[in-house]
């Protein structure tokens, strides 16, 4: 058994852990990063995000978008392509290549930054000792000691007892990224980010997709104008989203998944070729340390941290999905940079009020800051500006007229409090809003800015003008 000492040991090499390791190394600290992920039996860096999350889902969204466009949009442009078909194996091979190139890229960054990479399961003991085990072995293979430990162990899909994973029939999100054929019918439990993105992938490729969502509100975290616009657009594309649908049972019979759920009309039955469970994720805080560790865990199993990601034990930090806040890669990465810089003696902080959310469907949905409902509930006086994509010349030229941009500004100060977008490329558009808000911009600041024509970004300009009833291309 080997024993080594570092300034920092990072547990987990997802977008929180690997960024923490790189930033610590850049700051001159000696770093080891322990991770247990195996991709097809091979140790791989990148965690959920690179292996089974952000990246493979976007690769499949891109492929399926092109396929659907070639069928639905090309004829309108006068482009005649006959006999378009989808080769699922090739689509998956491309997705795997994208994943491999990126995960290998992290490995190269580790080498460049002289980060010691350790594969195995880490357990944390008092005195900041990290013991590393081989999978399934009770024996410690390696012991790492450090002045500072950063826990970045991420999250795992929540399982439903009523819909247990069943080979070939009932899957979690990772399984839904690996289908080898397009199912004729696909059920998805949960109409959140994963349900919508992966439901969209398979729907575009030809599956009849039904999403069963237990809440009676669609995308409750989004602004209501935006969630309504997105809901309409998804329904028009053929996603059958059933709200207020509580799962009662599942069973596999005659090569189908039989699902019983209850809605306002009573018990309903439906059958699918495949079923995906996407009902949220839970933090990986178990099997990480024993009772002898004085680390506080909250009632939802998140490791308790303050705004600087310090745990209840000095010198031990926790970041990413394993702590409170949105389970988003960029949130974890920003926490990683903050913690690394604070360990190095800097005063960095994360602005938790301005973390953008995106759903990568078509149109995309993106938002940052407060919703109109949240402002009203908090009694904040606001002005609201809206601009429909149908009035944007560029959106019309692109055939992407669904959705809108909505800007919420404080009535007295005009400071922008929230920006909400349902539009093609909303994921890119929202960055302008985050930048403006980070700099404390007012709606007037954006209204006075020159935007190139014709661009989708002009919709942000028009929405800002509309805050003061000055939009040009739409009735105020």
Give contact residues for ligand FAD (rule: CB under 6 A).
11-17, 34-37, 47-49, 52-54, 57, 121-122, 152-155, 173, 194, 284, 288, 320-321, 327-330, 332, 360
Q: Which of 14, 120, 190, 283 binds ligand NAI (CB under 6 A)?
A: 190
CB of 313 vs ligand NAI, minimal distance in Å = 26
CA distances for 437 relative to 114, 133, 359, 381, 387, angstroms = 37, 45, 20, 18, 19
Contact between 280 and ligand NAI per CB under 6 A: yes
CB of 216 vs ligand NAI, minimal distance in Å = 10
Residues touching ligand NAI: how many (CB under 6 A)? Answer: 24
Q: Is 121 a catalytic residue?
A: no
Secondary structure (3-state) at 266? strand
CB of 43 vs ligand NAI, minimal distance in Å = 24
Residue nearest to ligand NAI (CB): 192
| Phi, psi angle pair for 106, to nearest 5° | -65, -40
**From CA 351, how far away is CA 349, in angstroms rounded?**
7
- 153 vs 466 by CB, closer to ligand NAI: 153
CB of 140 vs ligand NAI, minimal distance in Å = 33
C-alpha Rg value of the chain to the nearest Å: 24
**From CA 361, how far away is CA 351, in angstroms rounded?**
26
- 31 vs 359 by CB, closer to ligand NAI: 359
Q: Which of 61, 186, 194, 241 binds ligand NAI (CB under 6 A)?
A: 194
Beta strands (DSSP E) in 254-403 are 256-263, 266-272, 274-277, 281-283, 316-318, 357-359, 364-369, 382-388
Q: In sequence order, what are the beta bridge partners of 105?
A: none
**From CA 102, how far away is CA 94, in angstroms rounded?**
13
| Largest Cα–Cα separation, the chain | 73
CB of 345 vs ligand FAD, minimal distance in Å = 24
Residue 189 touches which of ligand FAD, ligand NAI, none (CB < 5 to 8 A by kind)?
A: ligand NAI
**From CA 355, how far away is CA 339, in angstroms rounded?**
17
CA distances for 7 relative to 106, 187, 203, angstroms = 21, 48, 49
Q: Strand order of the sheet with strand 357-359? A: 357-359, 364-369, 416-423, 404-410, 382-388
Residue 17 touches which of ligand NAI, ligand FAD, none (CB < 5 to 8 A by kind)?
A: ligand FAD
Residue 371 touches which of ligand FAD, ligand NAI, none (CB < 5 to 8 A by kind)?
A: none
Residue 10 touches which of ligand NAI, ligand FAD, none (CB < 5 to 8 A by kind)?
A: none
Contact between 189 and ligand NAI per CB under 6 A: yes
Q: Please tell me which residue in 121, 330, 420, 453 is annotated as part of the active site.
A: 453
Contacts to ligand NAI from residues 315-344, by CB under 6 A: 326-328
Secondary structure (3-state) at 429? helix
Binding mask 342-361 for ligand NAI (x = CB under 6 A): ----------------xxx-
Q: Which of 35, 213, 335, 458 binds ligand NAI (CB under 6 A)?
A: 213
Q: 244: phi > 0 → left, psi -120 to 50 → alpha, else beta; which?
A: left
Contact between 45 and ligand NAI per CB under 6 A: no
Question: Do the beta carbons of residue 14 and residue 332 sit within 8 Å?
Answer: yes
Q: Which of 10, 144, 201, 278 binds ligand NAI (CB under 6 A)?
A: 278
- 9 vs 182 by CB, closer to ligand FAD: 9
Which residues lie below 8 Å from residue 318, measured CB to CB, with a gap of 6+?
150, 151, 152, 303, 305, 309, 311
- 328 vs 423 by CB, closer to ligand FAD: 328
Contact between 247 and ligand NAI per CB under 6 A: yes
Buried b (16+ CB within 10 A) or exposed e, 399-408: ebbbbbbbbb
Taking CA 160 as the corner, what is the angle to CA 155 and CA 163, rounded to the nearest 5 degrees?
Answer: 130
Residue 191 touches which of ligand NAI, ligand FAD, none (CB < 5 to 8 A by kind)?
A: ligand NAI
Query: Active-site positions?
Result: 453
Site residues for ligand NAI per CB under 6 A: 160, 189-195, 197, 212-215, 247, 278-281, 326-328, 358-360
């Amino acid at each position: 058994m080997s024993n080594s000492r570092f300034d920092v040991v990072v547990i987990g090499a997802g977008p929180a852990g690997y960024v923490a390791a790189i930033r610590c190394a850049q700051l001159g600290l000696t770093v080891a990063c322990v991770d247990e992920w195996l991709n097809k039996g091979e140790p791989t860096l990148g965690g959920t995000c690179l292996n089974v999350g952000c990246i493979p889902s976007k690769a499949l969204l891109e492929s399926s978008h092109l396929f659907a466009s070639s069928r639905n949009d090309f004829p309108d442009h006068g482009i005649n392509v006959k006999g378009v078909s989808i080769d699922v194996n090739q689509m998956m091979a491309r997705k795997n290549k994208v994943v491999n190139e990126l995960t290998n890229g992290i490995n190269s960054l580790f080498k460049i930054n002289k980060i010691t990479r350790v594969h195995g399961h880490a357990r944390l003991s008092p005195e900041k000792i990290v013991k590393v085990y081989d999978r399934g072995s009770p024996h410690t293979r390696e012991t790492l000691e450090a002045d500072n430990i950063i826990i970045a162990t991420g999250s795992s899909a929540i399982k439903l007892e009523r819909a247990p994973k069943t080979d070939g029939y009932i899957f979690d999100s990772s399984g839904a990224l690996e289908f080898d054929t397009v199912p004729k019918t696909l059920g998805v439990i949960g109409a959140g980010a994963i349900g919508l993105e992966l439901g969209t992938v398979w729907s575009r490729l030809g599956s009849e997709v039904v999403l069963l969502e237990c809440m009676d509100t669609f995308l409750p975290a989004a602004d209501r104008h935006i969630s309504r616009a997105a809901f309409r657009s998804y329904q028009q594309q053929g996603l059958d989203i059933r709200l207020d649908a509580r799962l009662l049972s599942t069973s596999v019979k005659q090569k189908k998944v039989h699902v019983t759920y209850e809605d306002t009309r009573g018990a309903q039955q439906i059958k699918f070729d495949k079923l995906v469970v996407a009902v949220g994720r839970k933090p990986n805080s178990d099997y990480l340390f024993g009772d002898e560790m004085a680390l506080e865990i909250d009632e939802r199993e998140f490791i308790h941290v303050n705004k600087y990601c310090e745990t209840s034990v000095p010198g031990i930090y926790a970041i990413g999905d394993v702590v409170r806040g949105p389970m988003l890669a960029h949130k974890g990465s920003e926490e990683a940079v903050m913690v690394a810089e604070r360990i190095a003696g800097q005063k960095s902080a994360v602005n938790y009020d301005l973390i953008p959310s995106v759903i990568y469907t078509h149109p995309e949905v993106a938002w940052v800051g407060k919703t109109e409902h949240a402002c009203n509930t908090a009694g904040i006086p606001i002005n609201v500006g809206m601009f429909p994509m149908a009035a944007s010349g560029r959106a019309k030229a692109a055939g992407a007229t669904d959705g809108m941009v909505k800007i919420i500004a404080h009535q007295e100060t005009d400071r922008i409090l929230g920006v909400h977008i349902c539009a093609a490329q909303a994921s890119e558009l929202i960055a302008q809003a985050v930048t403006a808000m980070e700099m404390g911009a007012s709606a007037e600041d954006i209204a006075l800015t020159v935007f190139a024509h014709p661009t989708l970004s002009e919709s942000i300009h028009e929405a800002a003008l509309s805050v003061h009833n000055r939009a040009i291309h739409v009735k105020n």
